[in-house]
C-alpha cells in the first residue's frame, strides 16, 4: 500500500474521524494561516467589568477585598484574615499529604537550581577603548506580587514557578496573592509551596481584585512594583487597565503545544504527549507535526484509545481541541516544511519525539520551551523539571521568553571614563552635539570644562 493510499484510508477510518488531519501540501495560504491562529480573547467585556472593581479596591482597600471574596469566590473572610498567619502555614504542613510535600520539595529544588544557573553576575565591566569602561549592574525589583490562580483548581506549581525566581533574584519584598476557597482558607499546598520558595507573605485576593490590591496597596496588602503569574481574562484586563501603575509581562493566553515526531518516533508516545496540553480547555491548541505518513496514521489512530483513560471533563476538552481547527495531526511534505510551520506557529510548548532530537534542535528558532526526546513529556516540565512553566503564548514566543530571574531584576548601565578616555571622546562628542543643536551638551565637552580649574 502506498503512503498516499494509507493516508486516504485513514481519513475514512471511523475510529479516528474525530481527530483532525491536516496535510500542509494541500492547504492554501489562507487555510494554513487559519491553523496558525489561536483563540483571540476579546477583553472588552472583562475590561468593562474590571474597571469598577479596580476603583472599589483603590477607594475601599481591605473592605473591598472582603466584599469581593464573598461575591466572586463565595468565601467569607474577615479583614483581619486577609493575610496568612504563621499558624496557617503550620496547619498546611501538618495536614498536607507527606508524599505531596516531598514532591513539592523535589520540584522546588529543581526549579531553584535552574534559576540559580540563570542568575547573571551582579556586575560586569569591559574596557571598550583606552580609559573607557562600560558595563551593567543588576539589582532586584523592590517588590513583586506573584499570582497563584484558583479558578479551575489549586495550582501550587504556579506558586513555585513564580516565587522561586523572585527569591533567587533576592527581591526584598515578594508577596503571593491567591483567592480563598469556599472555606475562607488558602489552599494548603499553595502555602507549603510559598514557604518552600521562601515567601512568607500570602494574601487572599483573586482576579482583578488581586491586581488592583497590588497596584494601589490596601491596609493589609502592600503596594508592589510588579505583578507576575498566570491568570484569567479578569487578571489580563486589570493588568491592561493598570499598565503604567504596576509593571507586568504580557498576559499568557490558553495553553498550546506542538509535538514534532520524525521517522524514528514512537507514534503511541507521540500521541500520548499530544494530549497533555489539549486537556487544559476547549480554547487550547495542540498539534502533532510529522513528515512521516506512517507516524501520522499510527498516532492519529492511537488518540481515541488514549481518550478512554481520561475523565469526561478533560476528555471533552481534548476532543474539542484535537477535532480542529486548533489541533490534530499535521503532515508536512518534508522536515523543512515541518520546521517552517513550527517556527511560524512559535508554540508555547514544543516536544521533539526522535531518537536523535538534537539533530532537529538547531532548526527551531521560535518556541518558548523545547523538550527533547520521548522521555521529556510536558507534564514533567510543567511541574518539576526546573525551567519555568510560565511561558508566552499566542505566537509571542517569536519575540519573548518564559518567566525567569531576569523578570525580577533590572539593569543599570555603568560608565567610567578616565582622563585618557575623555581626551579621545570629548571632541567627537562636541561634534555630535553641535550637529544636533544641543549647546549645553557641546559646552560640557569644550574648553569650558577647564575654565575654573
**What is the Cα–Cα distance from 102 to 264, expressed in whole angstroms?**
36
> 329 is written with which cell numbers?
495531526
From the list 376, 350, 380, 375, the residue with the least C-alpha distance to 363 is 350
Q: Are 56 and 211 in contact (CB under 8 A)?
A: no
The rounded distance, in Å, linking the Cα atoms of 149 and 154 is 7
Measured over the CA atoms of residue 193, residue 198, residue 202 and residue 207, the dihedral's sign is negative
Residue with cell 499566542: 394
Measured at the CA of 386, the angle between CA 118 and CA 176, to 5 degrees, comes to 85
C-alpha cell at position 408: 525580577
Q: What angle do CA 377, 257, 278 make, to 5 degrees?
A: 85
Active site residues: 348-349
Q: Nearest 5°: phi and psi at 410?
A: -135, 145
Nearest to 68 by CA among 84, 50, 85, 83: 50
- H or E element at residue 163: helix 156-168
Q: Which long-range contacts (CB under 8 A, 24 or more apart) does 80-84 make?
A: 81/184, 81/204, 82/203, 82/204, 82/205, 82/218, 82/220, 82/221, 83/201, 83/202, 83/203, 83/204, 83/220, 83/221, 84/186, 84/191, 84/194, 84/201, 84/202, 84/203, 84/204
Q: Residue ranges of the alpha helices (H) in 251-403?
A: 267-278, 293-307, 312-322, 335-345, 358-361, 378-383
Q: Quick one: cell of 336?
A: 523543512
Pairing assessment for the beta strands 132-140 and 123-129 based on DSSP bridges: antiparallel
The beta strand positions in 339-419, using DSSP E, are 349-353, 369-372, 409-417
256-261 and 327-331 as β-strands: parallel, antiparallel, unpaired? unpaired
Q: Cα–Cα distance between 277 and 150 in angstroms, integer? A: 18
178 within 8 A of 212, measured Cβ to Cβ = no
Amino acid at each position: 500500500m502506498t503512503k498516499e493510499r494509507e493516508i486516504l484510508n485513514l481519513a475514512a477510518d471511523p475510529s479516528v474521524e474525530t481527530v483532525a488531519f491536516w496535510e500542509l501540501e494541500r492547504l492554501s495560504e489562507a487555510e494554513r494561516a487559519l491553523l496558525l491562529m489561536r483563540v483571540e480573547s476579546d477583553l472588552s467585556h472583562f475590561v468593562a467589568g474590571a474597571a469598577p472593581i479596580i476603583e472599589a479596591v483603590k477607594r475601599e482597600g481591605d473592605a473591598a477585598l472582603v466584599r469581593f471574596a464573598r461575591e466572586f469566590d463565595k468565601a467569607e473572610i474577615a479583614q483581619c484574615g486577609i493575610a496568612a498567619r504563621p499558624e496557617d502555614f503550620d496547619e498546611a504542613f501538618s495536614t498536607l499529604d507527606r508524599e505531596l510535600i516531598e514532591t513539592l520539595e523535589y520540584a522546588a529544588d529543581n526549579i531553584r537550581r535552574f534559576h540559580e544557573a540563570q542568575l547573571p553576575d551582579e556586575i560586569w565591566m569591559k574596557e571598550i577603548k583606552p580609559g573607557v569602561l562600560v558595563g551593567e549592574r543588576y539589582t532586584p525589583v523592590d517588590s513583586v506580587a506573584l499570582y497563584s490562580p484558583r479558578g479551575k483548581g489549586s495550582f501550587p506549581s504556579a506558586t513555585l514557578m513564580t516565587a522561586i525566581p523572585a527569591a533567587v533574584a533576592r527581591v526584598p519584598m515578594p508577596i503571593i496573592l491567591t483567592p480563598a476557597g469556599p472555606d475562607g482558607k488558602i489552599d494548603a499546598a499553595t502555602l507549603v509551596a510559598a514557604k518552600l520558595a521562601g515567601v512568607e507573605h500570602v494574601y487572599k485576593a483573586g482576579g482583578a481584585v488581586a491586581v488592583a490590591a497590588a497596584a494601589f496597596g490596601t491596609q493589609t496588602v502592600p503596594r508592589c512594583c510588579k505583578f507576575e503569574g498566570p491568570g484569567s481574562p479578569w487578571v489580563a484586563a486589570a493588568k491592561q487597565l493598570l499598565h503604567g501603575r504596576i509593571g507586568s509581562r504580557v498576559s499568557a493566553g490558553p495553553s498550546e503545544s506542538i509535538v514534532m515526531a520524525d521517522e524514528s518516533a514512537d507514534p503511541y508516545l507521540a500521541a500520548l504527549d499530544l494530549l497533555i496540553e489539549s486537556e487544559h480547555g476547549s480554547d487550547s491548541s495542540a498539534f502533532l507535526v510529522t513528515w512521516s505518513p506512517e507516524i501520522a496514521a499510527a498516532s492519529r489512530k492511537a488518540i481515541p484509545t488514549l481518550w478512554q483513560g481520561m475523565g469526561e471533563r478533560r476528555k471533552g476538552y481534548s476532543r474539542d481541541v484535537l477535532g480542529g481547527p486548533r489541533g490534530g495531526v499535521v503532515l508536512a511534505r518534508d522536515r523543512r516544511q515541518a520546521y517552517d510551520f513550527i517556527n511560524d506557529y512559535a508554540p508555547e510548548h514544543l516536544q521533539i519525539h526522535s531518537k536523535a532530537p538534537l539533530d532537529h534542535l538547531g532548526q527551531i528558532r521560535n518556541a518558548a520551551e523545547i523538550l527533547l526526546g520521548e522521555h521529556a513529556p510536558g507534564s514533567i516540565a510543567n511541574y518539576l523539571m526546573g525551567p519555568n512553566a510560565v511561558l508566552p503564548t499566542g505566537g509571542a514566543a517569536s519575540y519573548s521568553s518564559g518567566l525567569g530571574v531576569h523578570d525580577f531584576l533590572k539593569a543599570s548601565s555603568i560608565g567610567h571614563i578616565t582622563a585618557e578616555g575623555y581626551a579621545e571622546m570629548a571632541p567627537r562628542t562636541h561634534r555630535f552635539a553641535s550637529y544636533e543643536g544641543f549647546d549645553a551638551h557641546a559646552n560640557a565637552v569644550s574648553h569650558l570644562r577647564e575654565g575654573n580649574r
